[in-house]
Amino acid sequence: MEWAVFVVFAIGALGGAGGVVMARKPVHAAMALVLTLFSVAVFFVMQGAHFLAAVQVIVYAGAIVVLFLFVIMLLGIDQEDILDEPLPAQRPLAMAVGVALFAGLVVLGRILEPTGATADRGSATQGEVSNVERVARSLFTDFLWPFEITSALLVIAVVGAVVLARRVGPSTQSDQLEVGADPGSDEGPAALLEHEA
Amino acid sequence: MKVPGAYYLAVAAAMFCIGAIGLLVRRNALIMFMCVELMLNAVNLTFVTFARMLDDIGGQVFVFFTLVVAAAEVVVGLALIVSIFRRRQGATADDVSLLRG
């Protein structure tokens, strides 16, 4: 039974990955990405990482793919990709690099052996405690300081996104100087709405 | 009957390599970004598999941090892509080969 689930979702994960690479339209690639992400979430459940499976579905399939779709729809860039390649050797070379990478990973996995040293952070599967409690215990004791730093990272990312996506910024000032536009005429969302109306 | 961890590792390695090939082959910046997400997910799967094989919760906690970093990366990266696409209509990475705007 578990083997059947594994095979089905392994095909789903790899098929979705191939779909991302081969899809002509970005929307189709995003849908294939959802398939892969969901298959990985199923793998997480099968290995006892229930908390991460939930987070995977909520954050990845929920938030990140929706963000991708927002960008695709908002920018209207859903045209098909240009298929002619300016560098003729790029595709075979990329394939060779990918296959070499896979072979290298397999060889590494064959050579290297896990040491089997006992973990001092707590077991992942043994005992009565649920998976969520294990992750929480480790996160708020051993990894408390990194956890606090991730909050700073998220705030920095939000500020960076706002600065980058704002229409009036360092990136557009050169435009305004070139066309000699009035710098006060294009400020703020209200002026933007008037301009587009 | 439990599936051995090596099979999960093989699937993760294949996913990672497909993502790498896509990153090298595709020229649409958005799809290149999705390939990066694919590679990140393959690494997450590897972490969870090793957490089970070595019976250490640290691998799962690390995946949590990877998820946070991936979310921050997607937010900043998509903002960059939006600001690039706003300036020029092209959707390919070759359009931004110059260092100046």
Does pLDDT of B46 surpass 90?
yes
Chain A 36-75, CB below 8 Å of chain B: which residues?
A: 36-37, 40, 43-44, 46-49, 51-52, 55-56, 59-60, 63-64, 67-68, 71-72, 74-75
Q: What span, in angstroms and rounded, lies between the C-alpha atoms of A141 and A103? A: 39
CA–CA distance, B56 with B53 (Å, rounded to integer) = 8
Q: With a cut of 0.95, is the ipTM above it?
A: no
Query: Which residues in chain A are contacts of B11 at CB distance < 8 A?
Result: 10, 13-14, 43
Q: With contacts defined as CB-CB under 8 Å, which chain A residues touch B37? A: 33, 60, 64
Which pLDDT belongs to residue A180?
42
pLDDT over threshold 70, residue A163: yes
Domain range A1-79, CATH class: mainly alpha
Check if the beta carbon of residue A67 is closer than 8 Å to that of residue B66.
Answer: no
Mean pLDDT along residues A88-115 = 85
Closest residue in B to A81 (Cα) is B28
Record: contact A158-B75, CB cut-off 8 A: yes
Contacts of B3 (CB under 8 A, 6+ apart): A2, A3, A6, A46
| Pairwise CB contact (< 8 Å): A135 & B28 | no
Alpha carbons A96 and A86: distance in angstroms, whole number = 18
Distance from CA of A12 to the nearest CA of B (A): 11
For residues A23-40, give the mean pLDDT.
92
Whether A94 and chain B come into contact, CB under 8 Å, resolves to yes
Q: Name the pTM for this structure.
A: 0.82
Domain boundaries, chain A: 1-79
Q: What is the rounded average pLDDT of the residues A126-130?
A: 75
Query: What is the reported pLDDT for B3?
Result: 84
Taking the C-alpha atoms of residue A16 and residue A75, their distance in angstroms, rounded to an integer, is 24
Query: Domain locations in chain B?
Result: 5-89
Chain centroid to Cα A83, Å, comes to 25
Residues of B in contact with A90 (CB under 8 A): 24-25
**pLDDT at position A196 over 50:** no
Distance CA B81, CA A164 (A): 9
Confirm or reject CATH 3.40.50.2020 for domain B5-89, answering yes or no.
no
Cα nearest neighbour of B37 on chain A: A33
More confident residue, B67 or B97: B67
Spell out which residues of chain B touch residue A73, defining contact as CB-CB under 8 Å: none
Query: Best mutation site among B15, B35, B81 for testing chain A: the one with the most A CBs within 10 Å?
Result: B15
Name the residue among A47, A106, A161 with its Cβ closest to that of B52: A47
At residue A147 the predicted structure's pLDDT band, cuts being 50, 70 and 90, is very high
* Tokens read off for A92: 């075979």
Interface touch A21/B25, C-beta < 8 Å: yes
pLDDT at B64 over 80: yes
